[in-house]
């Protein structure tokens, strides 16, 4: 990757993500399975809406609601303006906010001041720093310190890099880097979250990450922002449109990660009984194509600890040229979604997200059962 390309690439990503957002949202295939997942209604909920809690946590961060602002951008004037708007939303709603890849700050000292300014202007916002898996522990510590991050997201984006004209084509060593960074930052008290960027993660990948010491994964599945599509539009040399359906959907990816969690929990229970040993809980974030409260509640019911949204927040904070208006709109959206999440929990007859995971009955389409049978039976 060449340094001089990073800035224009960042702006391309935002522009193209927005260009494709509507077109993809209208594609009925994209959300067919999550739409076909149906809760079984509860005609006797025996719950007062006033008693319902939306609280959850991941990577040691307490959340007032089961969703947060996921990684997007930073490092160019336009990207910094978007980040400032997102940070205002994060501040008002007490949401954690993930920054987009900060490799631009590692490589180009001129971009650092804006990150430091963001962190000092929004001291209450819990920023998550973000880097690719090729980076060293030193770089990881540097970006965490630059914004006083509460956690580091390490993104896995092999499919994106392959399609990106100037992208990395050598993916060796990522697992070892992740192990080193996770251990090193862990010693500093900074948790690491490993995420995809929209193509999902398999059970094999999640198991490999857990073995490398990772305790939080964000499956970031297919269904929303599509980096094959975005990078293909930037690629004048080769056509990768045949890969536009690449990846695992967020729903299937979440089931893959849950499979690993269940397997590891069984093992842990066994080990605890046998020798008093125990691993640590695996936190799972679902993201990729999340459209609103019903999707959020479905992914939590399936087992996610929290849900990440990028495109939806990007749309909200750029809905108006006027920053105050756009930020107010995004905050209003969060408040409205919060109400809807509470409404959904109430009619499902559950008072909390753990109860939602444990008790809310649902059915999944046959295609999902067939998938699970093939993968795990
Ligand atoms: C404009 C844009 C830039 C992104 N840049 C990054 C990035 O730098 N690092 C990263 O981990 N994910 C990045 N993502 C991916 C998101 O964090 C998320 O995994 C993906 O967009 C799927 O979520 P969505 O469908 O809600 O957008 C970016 C997403 C968008 C829309």
169 assigned ligand-binding residue = no
- Cβ–ligand 1 distance for 103 under 6 Å, the answer no
Write down the residue that tokens 């910094």 correspond to: 80
Cα–Cα distance between 334 and 318 in angstroms, integer? 15
User: CB neighbours of 138 closer than 8 A, spacing ≥ 6?
Assistant: none
3-state secondary structure at position 130: strand
- Give residue 1's pLDDT band: very low, low, confident or very high (50, 70, 90): very low
Cα–Cα distance between 343 and 96 in angstroms, integer? 23
Q: How far apart are the first and last CA of the chain?
A: 42
- Contact at 8 Å (CB) between 115 and 128? no
Ramachandran bin of 213, using left for φ above 0, alpha for ψ from -120 to 50, beta for the remaining angles:
left
To test the pocket of ligand 1, the residue of 27, 73, 100, 127 to mutate (highest count of ligand atoms within 8 Å of its CB) is: 100
Distance 243 CA to ligand 1 centre (A): 18
* Beta-sheet pairing, 362-363 with 38-39: antiparallel
- Give residue 271's pLDDT band: very low, low, confident or very high (50, 70, 90): confident
Q: Of all helices (H) and strands (E), which one includes residue 47?
A: none
- Cβ–ligand 1 distance for 314 under 6 Å, the answer yes
User: CB neighbours of 191 closer than 8 A, spacing ≥ 6?
Assistant: 59, 60, 151, 152, 185, 215, 216
- Cβ–ligand 1 distance for 257 under 6 Å, the answer no
pLDDT of residue 2: 38
Is pLDDT of 316 > 50? yes
Write down the residue that tokens 């160019």 correspond to: 76
Ligand 1 atom nearest the C-alpha of 13 is 1
Q: Percent of the chain beyond pLDDT 90?
A: 91
- Cβ–ligand 1 distance for 97 under 6 Å, the answer no
Tell the residue nearest (CA) to atom 6 of ligand 1: 72
To test the pocket of ligand 1, the residue of 198, 234, 253 to mutate (highest count of ligand atoms within 8 Å of its CB) is: 198
10 assigned ligand-binding residue = yes
Tell the residue nearest (CA) to atom 28 of ligand 1: 72
User: CB neighbours of 187 closer than 8 A, spacing ≥ 6?
Assistant: none
CA angle 10, 156, 125 (to 5 degrees): 65
User: CB neighbours of 74 closer than 8 A, spacing ≥ 6?
Assistant: 10, 80, 83, 99, 100, 101, 102, 104, 105, 111, 114, 115
Is pLDDT of 148 > 70? yes
Nearest 10 degrees: CA dihedral of 69, 70, 75, 77? -40
Cα–Cα distance between 158 and 132 in angstroms, integer? 10
Phi, psi of 224 (to 5 degrees): -130, -125
Please list, residue by residue across 301-320, b when 16 or more beta carbons sit within 10 angstroms of its beta carbon and e when fewer do: bbbbbbbbbbbbbbbbbbee
**How many C-beta atoms surround the C-beta of residue 28 within 10 A?**
7
Tell the residue nearest (CA) to atom 15 of ligand 1: 197
- Cβ–ligand 1 distance for 224 under 6 Å, the answer yes
3-state secondary structure at position 193: strand
User: CB neighbours of 335 closer than 8 A, spacing ≥ 6?
Assistant: 93
- Contact at 8 Å (CB) between 52 and 346? yes
Question: What average pLDDT score do residues 265-281 get?
Answer: 73
**Least trusted range by pLDDT, from 27-36, 224-233, 281-290, 329-338:** 27-36
- Cβ–ligand 1 distance for 163 under 6 Å, the answer no
Token pair of 75 as six digits? 């490092």
- Give residue 280's pLDDT band: very low, low, confident or very high (50, 70, 90): low
Rounded to the nearest angstrom, the gap between the alpha carbon of residue 221 and the centroid of all alpha carbons in its chain is 9
**Least trusted range by pLDDT, from 17-31, 144-158, 291-305, 358-372:** 17-31
Distance 285 CA to ligand 1 centre (A): 14
Q: Percent of the chain beyond pLDDT 70?
A: 97
3-state secondary structure at position 62: strand
- Cβ–ligand 1 distance for 86 under 6 Å, the answer no
- Measured N-to-C along each axis, helices 3-25 and 77-93 cross at an angle, to the nearest 10 degrees, of 60
Q: Which residues pair with 362 in a beta bridge?
A: 39
Distance 49 CA to ligand 1 centre (A): 34
- Domains annotated for the chain, with CATH where assigned, are 3-376 (3.20.20.70)
State the burial class of residue 179 (Cβ atoms within 10 Å of its Cβ: 0-12, 13-18, 19+): middle
């Amino acid at each position: 990757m060449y340094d001089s390309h990073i800035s224009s690439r960042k702006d391309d990503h935002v522009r193209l993500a927005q260009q494709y957002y509507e077109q993809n949202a209208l594609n009925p295939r994209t959300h067919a399975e999550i739409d076909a997942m149906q809760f079984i209604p509860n005609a006797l909920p025996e719950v007062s809406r006033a008693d319902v809690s939306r609280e959850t946590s991941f990577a040691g961060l307490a959340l007032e609601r089961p969703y947060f602002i996921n990684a997007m951008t930073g490092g160019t004037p336009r990207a910094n303006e978007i980040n400032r708007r997102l940070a205002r939303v994060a501040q008002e709603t007490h949401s954690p906010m993930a920054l987009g890849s900060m490799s631009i700050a590692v490589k180009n000292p001129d971009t650092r001041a804006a990150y430091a300014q963001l962190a000092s202007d929004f001291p209450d916002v819990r920023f998550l720093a973000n880097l690719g898996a090729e980076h060293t522990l030193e770089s990881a510590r540097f970006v965490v310190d630059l914004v006083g991050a509460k956690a580091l997201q390490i993104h896995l984006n092999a499919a994106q890099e392959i399609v990106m004209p100037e992208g990395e084509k050598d993916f060796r060593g990522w697992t070892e880097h992740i192990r080193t960074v996770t251990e090193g930052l862990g010693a500093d008290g900074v948790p690491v979250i490993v995420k995809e960027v929209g193509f999902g993660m398999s059970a094999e990948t999640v198991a490999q990450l857990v073995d490398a010491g990772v305790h939080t994964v964000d499956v970031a599945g297919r269904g929303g922002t599509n980096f094959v599509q975005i990078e293909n539009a930037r690629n004048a040399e080769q056509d990768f449109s045949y890969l536009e359906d690449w990846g695992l959907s967020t729903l299937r990816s979440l089931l893959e990660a849950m499979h690993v969690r269940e397997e590891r929990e069984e093992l842990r229970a066994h080990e605890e009984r046998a020798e008093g040993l125990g691993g640590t809980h695996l936190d799972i974030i679902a993201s990729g194509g999340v459209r609103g409260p019903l999707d959020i509640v479905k992914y939590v019911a399936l087992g996610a600890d929290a849900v990440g949204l990028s495109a939806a927040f990007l749309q909200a904070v750029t809905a108006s040229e006027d920053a105050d208006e756009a930020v107010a709109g995004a905050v209003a959206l969060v408040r409205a979604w919060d109400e809807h999440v509470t409404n959904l929990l109430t009619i499902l007859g559950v008072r909390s997200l753990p109860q939602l995971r444990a008790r809310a009955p649902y059915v999944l389409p046959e295609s999902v059962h067939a998938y699970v049978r093939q993968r795990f039976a």
